[in-house]
Amino acid sequence: MSFMFRHNRIRREPATVPAAAAAERRWSARTPLAMPVKLYDRGRCIDTAISHDIGLEGMFVETRSLVLDKHTLLAVEFSLPEDDRRERYQLDALVVRVDAHGVGLMFVSFQPHLFRLLQNKLYP
């Protein structure tokens, strides 16, 4: 898979997208949550952004100068408070929505511990 920068735009060609992930279908509500996130492409940080909202299966990230194409695979890193500390998580995600403010990400890998933590924090 190759990618190229075009005016801070990342294009991957060809993008391999699982058939089930081709259309975004939310099964949990999103909760407003502004927190710093980092976006990675093959282990390299490509942007630091702010989340707008998060749900059990994805999040919307407000990007600044970086524009990503729909169906781009990347990793998103964020931290959440857990007990007396902050735990950092990194998940693979697929860009499923692109607009003038940022990108909608659908998590394509998940950690059971993080899933339970999000459930408890977002839907007490």
Q: What is the pLDDT of residues 76-96, one digit of tens each?
A: 999 988 778 888 999 999 999
Burial degree of 78 (CB within 10 A; 0-12, 13-18, 19+): buried
Q: What is the pLDDT of residues 14-34, one digit of tens each?
A: 344 444 444 445 567 888 999
What is the average per-residue pLDDT within 99-120? 89
Residue 24 gets the label, from left (phi > 0), alpha (psi -120 to 50) or beta, of: beta
For the chain, what are the domain ranges? 29-122
Q: What percent of the chain has pLDDT over 70?
A: 78
Fold assignment, 29-122: Thrombin, subunit H (2.40.10)
